[in-house]
């Protein structure tokens, strides 16, 4: 099957995201206090994201929650259709799978909790980063960058 890589990448991104949230949020109980992993470079801090990546466009209403769920599903579907209608390279299939798996991981959070669970905080070089994110955000970002950089089109 031509799209096996996309499916496996999506499933892996989704599973890794959800397992990491269960471990850090529910097992390690990061909501009870920050966990220094490699301070200040990597600290686990609890966050509830009602917006999009990195807390942008925060919305505390049920309508905003369902709009963001719909947008995430629509983008995932659009990426899937785009890849199925083109002749994607393996790196594009991998990238699309990462993006879709990450987006659906955050969708599941919104359905279950009403917000996205975040726990990663990275600071460096005297700059204190106030934002938290999760592995789904990393997969979404990496997938989008991969799709942009390796879309197979030659520059004109």
Active site residue 118: yes
Q: How far apart are CA 112 and CA 30, in angstroms?
A: 18
The helix or strand, by DSSP H or E, that contains position 72, with its residue range, turns out to be helix 62-85
Among 17, 36, 109, 118, which one carries the catalytic annotation? 118
3-state secondary structure of 151: coil
| Phi and psi at residue 2, to the nearest 5° | -65, -30
Active site residue 36: no
Among 17, 34, 36, 137, which one carries the catalytic annotation? 137
Q: How far apart are CA 152 and CA 87, in angstroms?
A: 9
Specify burial of residue 141 (Cβ count, 10 A radius: 0-12, 13-18, 19+): middle
Q: How far apart are CA 114 and CA 65, in angstroms?
A: 7
Q: How far apart are CA 20 and CA 4, in angstroms?
A: 24
Active-site annotation, residues = 118, 137
């Amino acid at each position: 099957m031509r799209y096996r890589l996309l499916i496996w990448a999506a499933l892996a991104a989704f599973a890794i995201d959800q397992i990491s949230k269960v471990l850090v949020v529910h097992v390690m109980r990061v909501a009870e206090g920050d966990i220094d992993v490699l301070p200040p470079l990597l600290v686990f801090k609890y966050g509830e994201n009602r917006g999009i990546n990195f807390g942008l466009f925060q919305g505390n209403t049920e309508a905003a929650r369902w709009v963001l769920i719909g947008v995430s599903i629509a983008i995932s579907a659009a990426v899937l259709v785009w890849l199925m209608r083109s002749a994607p390279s393996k790196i594009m299939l991998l990238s699309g799978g990462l993006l879709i798996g990450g987006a659906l991981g955050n969708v599941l959070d919104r359905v279950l909790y009403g917000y996205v669970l975040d726990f990663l905080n990275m600071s460096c070089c005297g700059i204190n980063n106030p934002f938290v994110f999760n592995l789904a955000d990393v997969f979404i970002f990496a997938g989008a960058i991969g799709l942009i950089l390796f879309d197979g089109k030659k520059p004109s």
